[in-house]
Amino acid sequence: MARINNLARVVGALTSRAWAMQAEALDELLQLAQRKDVDLVALAAKSDVDVADYWMPYVEGNVAIIPVKGPLFAEASWLDVMCGATSYARIEAHLTEARNDRKVDAIILLGDTPGGEVTGCGELAGYIREIAEEKLVVFYAAGGCCSAGYWLASACSSIVVSPTAIVGCLGVAGTVKDFRKAEEMLGIKSYEIVSTATPDKRPDPATKEGMAQMVGLIDFLAEVFLTDVAINRGVTRAIVDEKFGKGNVFVGKDAVTAGMADELGSLFDVLSVLQKNLEAA
């Protein structure tokens, strides 16, 4: 019983959030949370030590390179250790360090991410945009540049993608796990009591009205996401709706053709061009 309750809390924490992430990546997180051989208590204790050295940035000449890899979360947690994730809080800290370093004239966000949590993503994108007014910030998509990852990339001075980079998957999704049948089989009966004045506090996705309420929330978050992308990329919202994939993805040059990225290249190319231009300046 303790095992079931423990998993229910973890799965609940994942499914209660709105995600800007590729579906298969979110499914992997949910499957991980339900694995029977995962000791969550041990992982939580271990994460404080291991995450400190995870995805550390480095400096090449006068260019700081900050990794943005794996699933993206608002805060660091045991999932960082298990999933190779990156937290917005950690990216922000690395950006601040690079921003304040007088020897750093430009920043490369080295991305390979399926996306992540909606919470905190818009705020970090705004911070990236602020820094990009002071120093060049280039997002280099070595692999995935999807959903929340693209939200961050759109705020950079420019986006360069590898020929095989996966770009796009815009939009927001949420998952609701219904444990009622499982609890019924185990003989568990749950009673939920909602205050009379707030009947919409607990929408039931099994009903038409409840699902409509939850879809409305997801649509609102997606509106913030897509509008922000349009502003960051200097295009109209109509362009984002028509040409940025409608939630689909583009590979390499097709992302450039669609206007979602600026050019193809390699990390070496980006670094060389940045250093050369900075020396010339």
In a domain, residue 51? The reply is: no
Domain with 239 in it: 2-46+63-280
- Residue 151: inside a domain, yes or no? yes
Distance between the two ends of the chain, CA-based, in angstroms?
65
Give the 3-state DSSP-derived string for the chain, with helices as H, strands as E and coil as C: CHHHHHHHHHHHHHHCCCEEECHHHHHHHHHHHCCCCCCHHHHHHHHHHHHHHCCCCEEECCEEEEEEECCEECCCCHHHHHHCCEEHHHHHHHHHHHHHCCCCCEEEEEEEECEEECCCHHHHHHHHHHHHCCCEEEEEEEEEEECHHHHHHHCCCEEEECCCCEEECCCCECCCCCCHHHHHHCCCCCCCCCCCCCHHHCCCCCCHHHHHHHHHHHHHHHHHHHHHHHHHHCCCHHHHHHHCHHHCEEECHHHHHCCCCCEECCHHHHHHHHHHHHHHC
pLDDT at 78: 57
Is residue 56 domain-resident?
A: no
Say how many domains are in the chain: 1
What pLDDT does residue 4 have? 37
Residues in the chain: 281
Other beta carbons within 10 Å of 180: 11
Question: CA of 36: how far to CAs of 6, 20, 40, 113, 187, in Å?
Answer: 11, 27, 10, 26, 21
User: Which pLDDT value is given to residue 236?
Assistant: 97
How far apart CA 69 and CA 86 sit, in angstroms, is 6
pLDDT (0 to 100) of residue 32: 58
Is 179 inside a domain boundary?
yes
Tell me, what's the pLDDT at 2?
39
Tens digits of pLDDT across the chain (281 residues): 334 344 444 444 555 567 677 766 666 666 655 555 445 444 444 444 444 454 688 888 899 999 999 889 888 765 555 557 889 999 999 999 999 999 999 999 999 999 998 999 999 999 999 999 999 999 999 999 999 999 999 999 999 999 999 999 999 987 777 788 888 888 888 888 888 898 888 888 889 998 999 899 999 999 999 999 999 999 999 999 999 999 999 999 999 999 999 999 999 999 999 988 887 76
Please check whether residue 146 lies inside any domain of the structure: yes
Q: Is residue 55 part of a domain?
A: no
- Residue with structure tokens 């905190």? 120
Interhelix angle for 88-100 vs 121-132, to 10°?
10
Query: How would you class 259 by CB atoms within 10 Å of its CB: exposed for 0-12, middle for 13-18, buried for 19 or more?
Result: middle
For residue 218, being part of any structural domain is answered with yes
**In whole angstroms, what separates CA 233 from the centre of its chain?**
18
Q: Model-level pTM greater than 0.95?
A: no
CATH at residue 206? 3.90.226.10
Query: CB neighbours (10 Å) of residue 12?
Result: 14
CB neighbourhood size of 125 (10 A): 24
Q: In this predicted structure, what is the pLDDT of residue 147? A: 95
Per DSSP bridges, beta strands 115-117 and 19-21 are antiparallel
Domain contains 31: yes
Torsion of CA 199, 200, 205, 207, to 10 degrees: 50
Q: What is the pLDDT of residues 174-210, one digit of tens each?
A: 777 778 888 888 888 888 888 889 888 888 888 999 8
